[in-house]
Amino acid sequence: MRSLRVILCLLLALLSGTIAADLPPALPEVIPLWPGNPPRFAEGAPPETVDKDFHIRNVSAPTLSIYSPPAETRNGMAIIVCPGGGYGALDWQTHVVYAARVFNAKGVTVIGLKYRLRPPNGKTNEDIQAITLLDAQRALRLVRLRASEWNLDPHRIGIAGYSAGANLSLNLTAHFDSGNPASADPIERQSCRPDFSVGLATWHWRQKESPFHFGKDTPPVFLVHATNDGLTGGAPIELPRAIQADLKQLGTPVHLEVFNQGGHGVGNLIPQRVQNGFPPAKWPDLLLQWLDANLAPTGQPWKP
């Protein structure tokens, strides 16, 4: 938690006045995801680190960071954002802080998920997916339990991710439950089903086939990808197309927004990209417009 506060303080101090003015006006509320050590805790883990580009590594104590818009503009929607980094790092500035800058201005609360990474967690791809799935499930449950405290609609809580974060978002979208009503922990009694899911430059170790097995009650899914992603690494566009085909077959609302440029950073909301001749990313507005047509009215759960 302390390292995350350091990141944010440095970020606000180092960014130019123009960009800093666009960022959320205050540091987020940061809370631990689990009481004490999380399940499958890595004993003897090295300390968490943050580099000059605000990439976080060696995460073993996951947290949530709540970026709330002003109370008068808050619309009740929340997006839990999973930053990317190949399950070995978290690009917090690019994927969480800038997302908060954009979505807070639209009345949407952004909640950054600092999930566990390899190392020190998990020796295989399957291990790290299983461990981070626990973190994502817990994040949805916790946000849903505290929705009224943060002025959120418990039926308008989604999850979004970039690259490996998209892998995690979609892994949760394929593996959620309605909670354990017999649990002594009120958080664990909550459903961890997201009300919508967003995959930005969705990645699965550069594979083209979808590893996700969705069910009939899968929530609406919005995908963003670039045709030139995967040409020099990254994620081939065949992956989101396979995901889209699977969801269409189930009758789940799904949309794939394809751009010809952007590569593996197609979803990034970096202000400097505009200054360097790149157009501003369009997907936040496209997502919100699509959700207006595909989510249930406020206060009601979506049903397939």
Quote the mean pLDDT of the chain. 89
CA gap 137, 176 in Å, rounded: 7
Mean pLDDT value of segment 60-80: 96
- Residues 27 and 11: beta-carbon distance below 8 Å: no
Sheet containing 63-67: give its strands across: 29-32, 63-67, 109-114, 78-82, 157-162, 197-200, 221-226, 254-259
Domain assignments of the chain as residue spans, ordered by start: 2-294
* 149-185 pLDDT per residue, tens: 999 999 999 999 999 999 999 999 999 999 999 999 9
Proportion of the chain in helix, strand, coil states, percent, rounded to 5 = 30, 15, 50
CATH class of the domain at 2-294: alpha beta
pLDDT over 60 (residue 129):
yes
Query: For residue 132, how far is the Cα from the chain centroid?
Result: 12
* 5-54 pLDDT per residue, tens: 544 444 443 333 333 334 444 589 999 999 999 999 999 999 999 999 99
Structure confidence at residue 295 (pLDDT):
86
Structure confidence at residue 278 (pLDDT):
64
CA gap 130, 33 in Å, rounded: 16
